[in-house]
Structure 1
């Protein structure tokens, strides 16, 4: 099991009026917690801890197409993270911000979703009547199934792994599965509901947009469209704005005092961007397991009312309005040599396709015997990754949006000089590296900035 635990002294927390906020991110493979404090010099990360969840579980209903995780293991990793913090530090926490993997869905039964118990570090909770988490990576909703669903009144096209499309899949293929449950949300919505003992889940517009069938202009579900098709409306959470307080802790938790404010659950993508974007003229390029190029939209921007299934650009609710565009590409990264400055070899790296073009799979063209060395292949792969991002969000569009620099982050980018060279060739902006994104820190910062 991977563990990462770093700490510095917390004496600034003793200063009257200083905020100490706990940020939590429930990621696809790990859970991370960060204790952030506000000082006269700004925000500092006082302590952080991460644990791999090892939560992958078999899907009995969807088979090999299903991607599910055991919620018990996710909460176990979360409890282990918090247990690693000194109790006296957690006792100073005044707010909690929580983010997590978007799009996915977990089901539970109200008032039976968890069980609280005393432990050596205070109270902890364990999942009760809770389903597996069906993750954003889930592939059970085929293109033909998605095309059979009613057209949403939303700017985002439907995709497999979205909460509402997964619920539709169960309605058609396994309706009995839904009968024991009367609540649903993302995994981070579930944790917020359990901490605050909410009678009904509360979801931010960030997570609601990621579920499908949500109108971001009116901040409301497509209830009429859903009702006409027999969708179980009682499973839809109530919706609030990012930064709102969802409730207060119903128990002390690992020493965090009962009554501590808990923010409405946020999207991990938005929190990652929030953790490093300091100017509205910044663009954020993150390359790790996936790649995203993100820029803020002008104040007052509203997304289209209907989805464009062919568009490579997706708009996601940010903070204080609609501000983020995002392009995704899922790719495998390899370390490469720097000996090859150029190559005729051409690699399209979209191994998993794109949401707007799932049929666009990876390909290699212009193959010659002289271009098959590791240097050529590495250079072509790195060029293909950046060129694919540029094809979806070109330099000219960034310039028109007022971008003046790019903040480069992600382990794949920071460790690969070839990728950096290709970024600087294709995007002629100043590029600042080392601005690593951190959704847990971002979630904490959102709550620190709330007044």
Structure 2
């Protein structure tokens, strides 16, 4: 039976899945890469080689015989990220969490290019670096997953698909190509931008050098990388257009697939390419599962400053979740929590709010209940009701959905739909492996 390998390069971990052609999984593994680097204020950078070393260590955990008999390899990874290469080697990866542009600079970029670039997008990062004269010695720019594909195949060319191109904010969906005029207006040389290929295209074959480093068989076909948002949805099964796809990890995403996107969407919603010529509408708040963790961390901060021992974070999250669920079952909390703690891409100046406070209602359970509802409502807010109408279920993924019963309750309550938590773990890696089967 043919087997494909899916590799996911996430913000905090790498994951790998071996998937048989009947869509059953033969092996799954994941590992925190701990590749974060110290950066200047607002910066978010990672050590690329450390991530790739982690990939090699992770693949060593999988059955060697299956790795030597793969029909193809699919790759996915964190979107929006960018690294640069040139005669001096490669730079650190600048991730989607980078906030070094600022509102004034983003406004200037918009005036020059006509594009509404958002903080953390690769296009905004490249424009910032261009202003500082830091692109002069560079010969290519790449998302992390696309760079891994180049390393696997031993290619000097960076190949990208529309999902990653759109995540940089420089993609012209109507033309199916980079918006070269906007890039040049921002000082980004067109020669830096990857060559675009359709979703699921062949990128090349594993090189002998990469085979030795990653424990793979030389000559194994490798597919052009796909964005992790789209890969996760591919793993959810048939008819994705009938479902809402809600992920709560470090960040958050609510996505739906459509053949007929509206001409105009809320500023909260991004329209992203999806395999098969379809469109993925996405709300992607910057603070997802981390918003609920904020409550646990705040409780521990209070305890510490009052001279009390801190509680283990996992235990505290479980207790707060139980209190929040009990509160939700009693009815709508008086409190309202708006979890824009990190700002939002569409408005970086936003901050979180707690309202409806009285002298008696600021209990851990009430705060937890209001926070669970606030997280889900923040995801839902940008979607017109007609876009959600007719959906049959919500597909949930990410640890915050799987582990927090209060979040599950809030999802069912807000959407009025059943919530399904697939048995499949490492959804993005699974989606990449599925794409490699086609």
Q: Secondary structure of 1:148's partner?
A: helix
Q: Does 1:222 align with 2:202?
A: no
Q: Give yes or no for contact 1:150–1:225 (8 Å, CA) kept in 2.
A: no
Match of 1:208 in 2: 165
Match of 2:307 in 1: none
Match of 1:318 in 2: 274
Shift of 1:235: 0.5
Shift of 1:180: 3.6
Which of 401, 418, 424 is residue 413 of structure 1 equivalent to? Answer: 401
The structure-2 alpha-carbon separation of the partners of 1:27 and 1:346, relative to structure 1 and needing over 3 Å to count, comes to same
Counterpart Cα distance in 2 of 1:188 and 1:90 = 19
Counterpart Cα distance in 2 of 1:434 and 1:249 = 32
Q: Secondary structure of 2:374's partner?
A: helix
Q: Deviations over 1:406-450 (max 9, x none)?
A: 1222221222222222222221123223455611111001111x1
Which of 94, 101, 106 is residue 134 of structure 1 equivalent to? Answer: 94
Match of 2:418 in 1: 430
Q: Does 1:91 align with 2:65?
A: no
Q: Does 1:263 align with 2:251?
A: no
Q: Give yes or no for contact 1:275–1:437 (8 Å, CA) kept in 2.
A: no
Shift of 1:208: 0.5
Q: Give yes or no for contact 2:184–2:190 (8 Å, CA) kept in 1.
A: yes
Q: Secondary structure of 1:25's partner?
A: strand
Counterpart Cα distance in 2 of 1:30 and 1:226 = 31
After TM superposition, the structure 1 = structure 2 runs for residues 28-427 of structure 1, keeping only pairs within 5 Å, are 28-38=11-21, 42-59=22-39, 63-109=40-86, 129-150=89-110, 157-173=116-132, 175=133, 177-251=134-208, 252-253=211-212, 254-279=214-239, 280-298=241-259, 301=260, 311-329=267-285, 330-331=287-288, 332-334=291-293, 335=317, 336=321, 337=323, 338-340=325-327, 341-342=330-331, 343-399=333-389, 402-427=390-415
Q: Give yes or no for contact 2:5–2:72 (8 Å, CA) kept in 1.
A: yes
Name structure 1 gaps, 5 residues minimum: 1-17, 113-127
Q: Give yes or no for contact 1:153–1:215 (8 Å, CA) kept in 2.
A: no
Counterpart Cα distance in 1 of 2:83 and 2:350 = 30
Counterpart Cα distance in 1 of 2:100 and 2:341 = 18
Shift of 1:313: 1.3
Counterpart Cα distance in 2 of 1:288 and 1:194 = 28
Match of 1:13 in 2: none
Name structure 2 gaps, 5 residues minimum: 294-316
Q: Give yes or no for contact 1:88–1:255 (8 Å, CA) kept in 2.
A: no
Q: Give yes or no for contact 1:101–1:267 (8 Å, CA) kept in 2.
A: yes
TM-score, normalised to structure 1's length?
Answer: 0.83
Shift of 1:378: 1.0
More strand by share: 1
Counterpart Cα distance in 2 of 1:94 and 1:227 = 40
Match of 1:5 in 2: none
Q: Secondary structure of 2:247's partner?
A: strand
Counterpart Cα distance in 2 of 1:393 and 1:303 = 11
Shift of 1:28: 0.6
Counterpart Cα distance in 1 of 2:217 and 2:262 = 40
Q: Give yes or no for contact 2:19–2:434 (8 Å, CA) kept in 1.
A: yes
Q: Give yes or no for contact 2:149–2:222 (8 Å, CA) kept in 1.
A: yes
Q: Secondary structure of 1:147's partner?
A: helix
Shift of 1:152: 8.3
Counterpart Cα distance in 2 of 1:242 and 1:351 = 34
Q: Give yes or no for contact 1:152–1:212 (8 Å, CA) kept in 2.
A: no
Q: How large is the RMSD of aligned CA atoms in angstroms?
A: 2.1
Shift of 1:86: 2.9
The structure-2 alpha-carbon separation of the partners of 1:190 and 1:366, relative to structure 1 and needing over 3 Å to count, comes to same
Shift of 1:199: 3.0
TM-score, normalised to structure 2's length?
Answer: 0.86
The structure-2 alpha-carbon separation of the partners of 1:269 and 1:365, relative to structure 1 and needing over 3 Å to count, comes to same
Q: Give yes or no for contact 2:9–2:145 (8 Å, CA) kept in 1.
A: yes
The structure-2 alpha-carbon separation of the partners of 1:164 and 1:303, relative to structure 1 and needing over 3 Å to count, comes to farther
Counterpart Cα distance in 2 of 1:241 and 1:273 = 18
Counterpart Cα distance in 1 of 2:363 and 2:284 = 28
